[in-house]
Structure 1
Amino acid sequence: MRSPPMKGRVVRTSHESQCLSGNPLGDPHERDLYVYLPPEYDGTRRFPVVMMLAGFGATNHSIAAWSPWKPNTIELFDQLVAEGRCKPAILVLPDCFNRWGGSQFIDSDGTGRYQTYLADEVFAFVDAEFQTIPDREARGVIGRSSGGFGALRLGMDRPDVVSVIGSHAGDAAFEVSMRPMLTSAAIAIDLAGGLRPFAEEIPAGGPNNATQFDAIFVLAAAAAYSPDTANFPHAHIPMDPATGELRADVWAKWLEQDPLRRIDAS
């Protein structure tokens, strides 16, 4: 069911990133941003900022997309604010999509400096353009799935920037959440003739089935967690696609990125 008309408003703007310029995958460095301004926003008051990160295979555009049947996330947030169930805040939806379907929102030599982009460029841009409270105590980051992973890591790695994290089913406990998909990913990559043919073919039309989806996610995660800076597609995958055998040295690099392990090690 559709919600009533929004009380706040959405500004769609763009930002030219310096740290994403010249990234290894040749992805755009000019990125769109959606910025929700609450009903109370009149240019005189300042508001906290909540950054929302999309899940793998999704974008800020899909989060903001209009549906004839149900409200989108921005409309739901607006409804909560209008009903007094949530304090007014500025909601920011950045774009960290890449050729493989998602950047995992971290800095990597295989994809680009996406965490730095969020922490040092997006927040600074929003602070300069809108009436924010430009302080870590007034900033939060939230996300689901890979977006939840990005939220966890941004909060853990850059506590100087954000003070509140919301992770909904964020990628963690990789032995449980990611290890099982390596087998189906290996099958899809092997059927394509290997990693390079798979990487050259799939992004053009997207995955056609569950095994291909697992494979493109593994490729994206590998480019983030275990990059290969010398060879396209700039990723060391953690299994042999012909046999499914785990590559322990590469898998160890993945585990180093696991938020659960990083918390245990802190």
Structure 2
Amino acid sequence: MRPPSARHRRLAVALFAAALLPAVSPGPAAWADSPAVPGADFTDGFGLSQVADGTEVRSGTDFTITVTTPEVAGPHRIRIFLPSGYADDPDRRWPVTYFLHGGGGNVDDAAAAPALHSDAMITVVPDGGLKSWYADWYMQNTAEGAADWETFHLEQVVPYIDANLRTLPDREHRAVTGLSMGGSGALHYAQARPDLFGHASSLSGGIDFSMATVRATVLATELDLPGAWCALSTPSSQGCPTYGPSVDSDAIFGSPYPVLGADHRWNAYDPAAPANLSKLKNTQVTLYTGNQGLIDGQTAMAAHTVKNRLDQLGIPSRLVDYGNGASLSPQCDGSHTYKCWGPAYADYVPRLEAAFEAAAKN
């Protein structure tokens, strides 16, 4: 009897391996044109290189890729939620929402707000670090290494997503939203790049950098002083991580002290500064906050300051101060937690979807 050929040996191995794998339904015919592993066919570019073994697949519409970039030290994950119909219609393009997580959090926090996994849009959750504050840091030689987070997100992640997914790549179909630290990042990104984002929302955001409590929070993250902010801005199931290695108190925005203009970088970033708010004149702005507890008592003050200044500038906006949470959801107590942010996104996302749909008709 002749020994099996190399071709037959390869076939036998393939059949044996297939027998060990669980059966998977093939899904819609259109899925045949998509990669077996979502994100596997992404093409490097815009300074981003995908880590070959860094893809996590939860389903065909929920997966995470890992990338590296010279702008920010270390590998970084990007979680992506696709609409359930994404694979069914290969000619359709979709709006995109960028979700910015809070301090001490990570890209998996988005799962605590199920409304973000929408059938009407793509949601992209880029790693924002434990204390990035969504800024290009003043100091680049700290224990964190390179930390140009704003450049990473706005000049690399956004065009990378547009190049690799079927997006509608215009501001009317692109939103940025975030909570806590990510809430300030969302307003700042919309102000820094009004050409990119037509919609911005902040939930319980540290959005007024003139407030001593907000500046103190930034300093606490720089010095890795875990406290209430960390414990409450991360889903309870994930516990309270530290803010990473301690860095200089001037690392992100330079000196925080308003003496002889030493705090000019804080003021330039400040999402509540009238000069920055004026850049939102063509942006749909939504603010959510409770007013209970140590933290949301402060974010409520910041949100009302921003709302009043937008009103003075004649810029339409929507503020939802849900107070003790009773008007929002039975599970919300008005505090700085996903018990409130989850319902807040359940209120916000349908409104955002309607705005995207209206823009598509124009």
Q: What is the alpha-carbon distance in structure 2 between the residues aligned to residue 221 and residue 58 of structure 1?
A: 20
Match of 2:48 in 1: none
Match of 1:47 in 2: 94
Alpha carbons of 1:166 and 1:220: their partners in 2 closer, same or farther (altered >3 Å)? farther
- Using the TM superposition, give the Cα deviation of residue 264 of structure 1 relative to its aligned residue in structure 2, in angstroms: 6.2
Q: What is the alpha-carbon distance in structure 2 between the residues aligned to residue 133 and residue 265 of structure 1?
A: 26
Match of 2:9 in 1: none
Matches within 5 A, 1:3-152: 9-20=61-72, 27-28=73-74, 30-42=75-87, 43-64=90-111, 72-73=112-113, 75-78=114-117, 81=118, 88-97=120-129, 101-111=130-140, 112-152=147-187
Alpha carbons of 1:104 and 1:179: their partners in 2 closer, same or farther (altered >3 Å)? closer
Deviation per residue, 1:81-119 (Å, 9 max, x gap):
46xxxxx0000000020xxx3111122232522111111
Match of 1:162 among 194, 197, 209: 197
Q: Which residue type is aligned with residue 91 of structure 1? A: T
- Using the TM superposition, give the Cα deviation of residue 11 of structure 1 relative to its aligned residue in structure 2, in angstroms: 1.7
Gaps in structure 2 of 5+ consecutive residues: 1-57, 141-146, 232-241, 280-362
The total of aligned residue pairs comes to: 201
Deviation per residue, 1:171-193 (Å, 9 max, x gap):
223343626847xx7xx99xxxx
Deviation per residue, 1:6-30 (Å, 9 max, x gap):
997202112222433xxxxxx31x3
Contact 2:208 2:214 survives alignment (8 Å): no
Q: Which residue type is aligned with residue 146 of structure 1? A: M
Match of 1:225 among 253, 267, 271: 253
Match of 1:194 in 2: none
Deviation per residue, 1:154-176 (Å, 9 max, x gap):
11111122221111222223343
Q: Which residue type is aligned with residue 258 of structure 1? A: D
Deviation per residue, 1:226-246 (Å, 9 max, x gap):
1xxxxxxxxx4x36xxxxxx8
Bigger relative contact order (CA 8 A; separation at least 6): 1
Alpha carbons of 1:58 and 1:212: their partners in 2 closer, same or farther (altered >3 Å)? closer
Q: What is the alpha-carbon distance in structure 2 between the residues aligned to residue 211 and residue 63 of structure 1?
A: 18
- Using the TM superposition, give the Cα deviation of residue 216 of structure 1 relative to its aligned residue in structure 2, in angstroms: 6.5
Match of 2:267 among 241, 251, 255: 255
Aligned residues with identical type, % of pairs: 25
Contact 2:80 2:124 survives alignment (8 Å): yes
Once the two structures are overlaid, the 10-residue window that deviates more, 141-150 or 161-170, is 161-170
Q: What is the alpha-carbon distance in structure 2 between the residues aligned to residue 212 and residue 9 of structure 1?
A: 29
Report SS of the residue matched to 1:15.
Answer: strand
Q: Which residue type is aligned with residue 45 of structure 1? A: R
Deviation per residue, 1:119-162 (Å, 9 max, x gap):
11111111122111122221110001210111111111111222
**RMSD, aligned CA:** 3.6
Q: Which residue type is aligned with residue 263 of structure 1? A: N
Match of 1:68 in 2: none
- For normalisation by structure 1, the TM-score amounts to 0.63
Report SS of the residue matched to 1:91.
Answer: strand
- Using the TM superposition, give the Cα deviation of residue 258 of structure 1 relative to its aligned residue in structure 2, in angstroms: 1.4
- Using the TM superposition, give the Cα deviation of residue 211 of structure 1 relative to its aligned residue in structure 2, in angstroms: 10
- For normalisation by structure 2, the TM-score amounts to 0.47
Match of 2:26 in 1: none
Which of these two proteins has the greater Rg computed from alpha carbons?
Answer: 2
Report SS of the residue matched to 1:225.
Answer: coil
Q: Which residue type is aligned with residue 142 of structure 1? A: T
